[in-house]
Amino acid sequence: MKQYLVFRLYGPITSWGEIAVGENRHSFSYPSKSAVIGLIASALGYKREEEDKHTQLTNSLSFGIKVYNSGILLKDYHTTQVPPFQQKVVYFTRKEELEDKLNLNTILSAREYRMDSLYDVCIWEKNNSFQLQEIEKKLKEPNFCLYLGRKSCVLSSPLFTSLVEAENLFLAFEKYEKGLKEIFLQKEINYEQIFQIKEKQLIEYLWEDESQETSVEIRFRRDEVLSRKRWQFAERKEFYKSEEK
């Protein structure tokens, strides 16, 4: 038996960044590893410039995703007024930036979001650098605000974190959902209606580390954090399978 930490990501709007080219900012259909690790790092209170801590966290955890609903794609034409970089000039607030009217430039971009998406996330230890119990505690009482890819994308439900012991990732997800349903049943709340889960729908699974199954698809995604400060990411292999439930 292996220990897993499972939690739920549900929000009215999410954004899971892909490789950005020019003014286009695309969103993937499910969370990236960098987004999940970033969310955990925020809960632990890590600042972006603390490179060593982020690297250690990335190298210490493996993760998998269960996709119930990847959401409806939303495209936003985005305009932002910002002053250019000037040596020895520091703006401490957004108000100070906007007051420098002579130097303001307008940046145009097209950004993608996902509406009403629902995912379960499962993490487990690669080594003993981090204890899942510690991460669970911090996710319940985070040091920094948690968000779903972008700061404008807020959570619309608790994370419902739970430590689960199971033989594999899929049984951990199954055990987690069963426990969550029981909690809602005790409170007489309609679980399926709250999370908009249909009676029959396609469920997707994506995970890393070597797979014991043969009938899976291998994918590659550039979302392994190399540097938070410089926004550098490495390519990572993950496994994919889907089934109708």
pLDDT of residue 214 exceeding 70, the answer is no
Give the least confident one: 27-41, 75-89, 145-159, 188-202. Answer: 75-89
Residue 97 lies in a domain: no
What does the pLDDT read at residue 211? 62
pLDDT single digits (tens) 7-64: 999 999 999 988 776 678 889 899 999 999 999 999 999 998 899 999 999 989 999 9
Confidence class for position 116, pLDDT limits 50, 70, 90: very high
- Domain around 140: 2-18+25-75+113-244
Residue 90 lies in a domain: no
Residue 96 lies in a domain: no
Residue 190 lies in a domain: yes
Q: What is the 3-state secondary structure (H, E, C) of the chain?
A: CEEEEEEEEEEEEECCECCCECCEECECCCCCHHHHHHHHHHHHCCCCCCHHHHHHHHHHEEEEEEEEECCEEEEEEEEEEECCCCCCCCCCCHHHHHHCHHHCEEEEEEEEEEEEEEEEEEEEECCCCCCHHHHHHHHHCCCCCCCCCCCCCCCCCCCCCEEEEECCHHHHHHHHHHHHHHHHHHCCCCHHHHHCCCCCCEEEEEECCCCCCCCCEEEEEEEEEEECCCCEEEEEEEEEEEEEC
Give the least confident one: 104-108, 165-169, 237-241. Answer: 104-108
- CATH code at 208? 3.30.70.2660
What does the pLDDT read at residue 90? 85
What does the pLDDT read at residue 74? 93
Mean pLDDT in residue range 86-115: 84
pLDDT of residue 158 exceeding 90, the answer is yes
% of the chain with per-residue pLDDT over 90? 59
Residue 193 lies in a domain: yes
What is the domain count for the chain?
Answer: 1
pLDDT of residue 245 exceeding 90, the answer is no
Residue 100 lies in a domain: no
Residue 93 lies in a domain: no
